[in-house]
Amino acid sequence: MDERMKELFAIGASAAVNCHPCIEHHLAECDRLGIDRAQVKAAAEVGLMVNRGAAAKTRDKLDALLGKAESRTGGASSCGCSS
């Protein structure tokens, strides 16, 4: 696997685990290697899809173990914090 491919994988993985410093670092590496932003965005989108899938499975598991919440605060993408 070449360095360009490794950095694209790293962008996707960083997006999947919500690591903002990692995203910034690997984006700079992608820029240094001349990787097209469209490719970087596509790799990040794959990571975000993995993240959403994992979050949905976690919600299903929690609902199964604890029962569904009467109401949930915030939207599906909100943790309830003010950031």
pTM for the whole structure: 0.76
Residue-range domain boundaries for the chain: 3-65
Among 50, 42, 44, CA closest to 14? 44
Q: What is the pLDDT of residue 55?
A: 95
What is the tens place of the pLDDT at every residue in 46-83? Answer: 999 999 999 999 999 999 999 987 666 555 555 666 65
Q: Which CATH architecture has domain 3-65?
A: Up-down Bundle (1.20)
Q: What is the mean pLDDT of residues 32-59?
A: 98
Of 58, 49, 66, nearest to 15 by C-alpha is 49
pLDDT of residue 17: 97
